Amino acid sequence: MATWVEDEIGRKWDRCFTDAIFKFGGGILLGGVFSLFFFKRRKWPVITGASFGLGMAYSNCQEDLNSTIRQQKSRNCSKLDEAKQSS
């Protein structure tokens, strides 16, 4: 069964958002644990953990979407024009 490129990109965007939510939440959770046990309940470990999670999600999403774009074959329009002119 053939899949449309738009459908594949839509699924990848959905995975990107899900990945971002999980990594953001995990960063907040891990930053909260470090803040609670090691840094006397400061805010910066939570913010740092959340930003690291979002950064990792952004990097994964960028690579995933760029691989889809690179897979698409470029069309050679000159061959199409020659075929139309010869007909």
For residue 85, the model assigns a pLDDT of 65
pLDDT category at 61 given cuts 50, 70, 90 is very high
Q: How many domains does the chain have?
A: 1
pLDDT tens per residue, range 10-36: 888 899 999 999 999 999 999 999 999
pTM confidence score: 0.69
* Contacts of 19 by beta carbon, 8 Å cutoff, 6+ apart: 57, 60, 61
Range of the domain at 65: 2-85
Q: What is the pLDDT of residue 55?
A: 95
